[in-house]
Amino acid sequence: MRDTSLIGRRTLLAGGLAALATGARAGERPLILTPGQVEGPFYPVQFPADSDNDLVRVTGRAAQAMGQVTHLGGRILDRQGRPIPSAAVEIWQCDAHGIYRHPRAADQALFDDAFQGYGRTMADAAGVYRFRTIRPVAYPGRTPHIHVAVQVPHRGLRFVTQMYVAGEPLNARDGLLQGVRDRAARESLIVPLSPSPEGLEATFDIVLAV
């Protein structure tokens, strides 16, 4: 497994994550809780040998994953905006063809073997997590999204949600996204993707009811 500090030292998310430090602090009004979402049918039944936070490069593969490189990061927070350190964060998503790395997913023979499909990392002492992945794509019945799971140490909590892309026309017709009836809560799941030197970057804070 590669040293995730290599990604941590990248400057692509520096501006966005630095801005987080000036956000909600203890004592301010509670934040909007991130809505939970279903885990879905394609959570891995077997984790890939390479399961770090860089989904774009797979150990032993010379090629980089197809798709637009996206640096995803944010903080794991409680409802008062206090960071939750050392939370375990997982993401999983389909490849650039709309195929999941999962035995029940269709067209497994066409899955991009240069894409991990799943990754995990630990939030640091400030609750910050980072991943290097690809821009999510649509597939039949779903708007582009990335599944995210957070496990909080010593609290027995595993929280699952999904991150969506701002400006996607299919957002308005996605049943899971539109199933979040509270508008502010629903909008908290929708994240803009901004240009970065290597592709795109996104900041997705996750606020837990702890």
CATH 1.10.10.10 assigned to 5-208: no
Query: Measured at the alpha carbon of residue 130, what is the angle toward residues 127 and 134, in degrees to the nearest 5?
Result: 150
Prediction pTM value:
0.86
Average pLDDT over residues 125-132: 98
Average pLDDT over residues 93-103: 97
pLDDT higher than 50, residue 3: no
Q: In the numeric block, which tokens belong to residue 187?
A: 């909008």
Binned at pLDDT 50, 70 and 90, residue 156 comes out as: confident
The b/e string for 142-175 (b: 16+ C-beta within 10 A; e otherwise) is bbbbbbbbbbbeeeeeebbbbbbbeebeebeebe
Average pLDDT over residues 55-80: 96
| Contact partners, residue 112, CB within 8 Å, separation at least 6 | 65, 66, 67, 95, 96, 97, 99
